[in-house]
A and B are shown apart, each in its own frame.
Chain A
């Protein structure tokens, strides 16, 4: 099944994975945070994603990989109901969050977003001071007591404190791109979410800043559950415990719909994928 040039690539990836020495807990010891069942998303009638079912586990880093247009960003935005903000977006199927239907009639999307944080592709700090950026979430949620401590803790967790502790009142836009992204992570951590969704968090950053974000993900997964979309397969191999590979199918009229091809432990996805399409993708023959 594995041809010679392919095995070289796979060996590279295997080395990476071996370095991490990750041993995943057996399935019965994992706590399910999200249970996704037959999820589909359409934008104004165009099916963007179809038939996705998977489970996201607590204190895991879960990566979504796949070619452009495969619906991975659409998918991650279902977890904090950000798709609700897009006119014409319709989500079908169910996502259970600790057993509760995230799209249930009595669920308030605002409440969902308080528990499930999100970091975006492009760093998007508010045009305010560093302090006010981190304090914004606690302030809108009414968590005003010991705000200074909370801000400091979040900046520590995002490994940004030492760089900004002397200029908390400086504008956030004066930071470098990598610092801005860590500020966005701190901003998200300040409201103590349970899950952090990251939509290509390092794609706008240079390699050094990217490494820092990846190190941070390793740190954060002790306390948080992390879901990350990435187009960088090496990154998925480096940071993720579980990896889901998405691909695109073309319908009768040429419309592109994203589907989940394979979901498994990262080491398995990158070394012994069970689907031919996954193998083609991770070995660089496609996408």
Chain B
């Protein structure tokens, strides 16, 4: 910019080109992800928006795409979501509390537990599906029922819930625990009345994000026997399908109309997941604490 020489520099920053090149690279990598996602989303919306109608929500699937809906799948996804929360939150928070507040890290079994939870979070979901088939469906004799599906998704998302809950619990400053202890609170009172309430927003956010991951899973449900064609409302111990499974089935059909139907079901699923994620973000922003 400047034409005269300044004591602060020649007016031409060093490493100008390297900086621009790197900046350009960053923009390109951002755009690749962003545009791909955007194109996919636009495609789905264009394909499916006109079929997001009462028929989709209130009718069971049918061989005739014009009257086919996804009511059993949508209901089952809602049931699975509720069960997931009921199962994962107590188990996940309990495990996290044990590891953070009670476990003696010098004991080998506690360290083993920690390492395994990290590993479990990285296990592919299909492996959980095989476990579910062998252990829940056959071993426990539950059969191919909705409860088995919810239980296997619980196992799948539990490690992420535990990790998120541990982070939230660890973020509660030790000075809070000290203050409570110094007032004569017992360990139970410190954990239950101070640590847990302070960690709740973080735990809720993590749990909801994990839930939305669980609801989008298809592979483990297929293995524990989610059926692709269910025309009645799901029950806890009955045959079931779920939105991702329904989508998978419709996409695989040769008729063009079913793919349109699949696109509209995808819109519903995405809307559910985005709503959950938005709620998690709102929770985080609303209750976030600065210590």
Q: Hey, which bits of chain A sit against chain B, CB under 8 A?
A: 80, 82, 85, 87, 110-111, 113-114, 117-118, 120, 122, 124-127, 136-137, 140-141, 173, 184, 187-188, 191
Which residue on chain A has the smallest CB distance to residue B179? A124
In the bound complex, do residue A124 and residue B175 qualify as a contact, i.e. CB atoms below 8 Å apart? yes
Of B61-69, B185-193, B251-259, the segment with at least 4 beta carbons within 8 Å of chain A is: B185-193
In the bound complex, do residue A124 and residue B176 qualify as a contact, i.e. CB atoms below 8 Å apart? yes
Q: How far is the CB of B175 from chain A (nearest CB, A)?
A: 4
Which residue on chain B has the smallest CB distance to residue A123? B175
Contacts of A80 in B (CB 8 A): 182
Known A110-B184, A113-B182; judge A127-B198 contact (CB<8 A). yes
Contacts of B182 in A (CB 8 A): 80, 82, 113, 117-118, 120, 188
CA distance A117 to B184 in the complex (A): 8
Pairs A-B, 8 closest by C-beta atoms: A114-B184, A124-B175, A118-B182, A137-B183, A113-B184, A140-B185, A124-B179, A140-B189
Our pick among B183, B186, B194, B289 for the contact of A117 (Cβ within 8 Å) is B183
As a 0/1 sequence over residues 101 to 116 of chain B, the CB contacts with chain A under 8 angstroms (1 = contact) are 0001010000000000
Q: How far is the CB of A58 from chain B (nearest CB, A)?
A: 21
Contacts of A111 in B (CB 8 A): 184
Q: How far is the CB of B191 from chain A (nearest CB, A)?
A: 12
Q: How far is the CB of B234 from chain A (nearest CB, A)?
A: 41
In the bound complex, do residue A85 and residue B184 qualify as a contact, i.e. CB atoms below 8 Å apart? no
CA distance A214 to B178 in the complex (A): 23
B58 interface contact, C-beta 8 A: no
B181 interface contact, C-beta 8 A: yes
Interface residues on chain B, number (Cβ under 8 Å): 21
Q: How far is the CB of A151 from chain B (nearest CB, A)?
A: 14
In the bound complex, do residue A187 and residue B181 qualify as a contact, i.e. CB atoms below 8 Å apart? no
CA distance A133 to B186 in the complex (A): 17
CA distance A87 to B103 in the complex (A): 12
Contacts of A87 in B (CB 8 A): 104, 106
Contacts of A173 in B (CB 8 A): 289
In the bound complex, do residue B178 and residue A85 qualify as a contact, i.e. CB atoms below 8 Å apart? yes
B180 interface contact, C-beta 8 A: yes
Chain B positions 103-161 with a Cβ under 8 Å from a chain A Cβ: 104, 106
Contacts of A187 in B (CB 8 A): 179, 183
With A113-B181, A113-B183, A188-B183 known, 20 other A-B pairs at CB within 8 A are A80-B182, A85-B177, A113-B182, A113-B184, A118-B182, A120-B178, A124-B176, A124-B178, A126-B179, A127-B289, A136-B193, A137-B183, A137-B184, A140-B180, A140-B183, A140-B186, A140-B193, A141-B184, A184-B179, A191-B184
Contacts of B193 in A (CB 8 A): 136, 140
Contacts of A140 in B (CB 8 A): 180, 183-186, 189, 193
CA distance A126 to B180 in the complex (A): 9
Can you list 9 residue pairs at the A/B interface with Cβ under 8 Å? A120-B178, A120-B182, A124-B175, A126-B176, A126-B198, A136-B180, A140-B184, A140-B193, A141-B183
CA distance A188 to B181 in the complex (A): 11
Contacts of B186 in A (CB 8 A): 110, 140
In the bound complex, do residue B183 and residue A191 qualify as a contact, i.e. CB atoms below 8 Å apart? yes
Contacts of B104 in A (CB 8 A): 87
Q: How far is the CB of A190 from chain B (nearest CB, A)?
A: 8
In the bound complex, do residue B183 and residue A122 qualify as a contact, i.e. CB atoms below 8 Å apart? no
Q: How far is the CB of A213 from chain B (nearest CB, A)?
A: 17
Contacts of A113 in B (CB 8 A): 181-184
CA distance A82 to B104 in the complex (A): 18
Contacts of B180 in A (CB 8 A): 126, 136, 140
Known A136-B193, A140-B189, A140-B193; judge A82-B178 contact (CB<8 A). yes
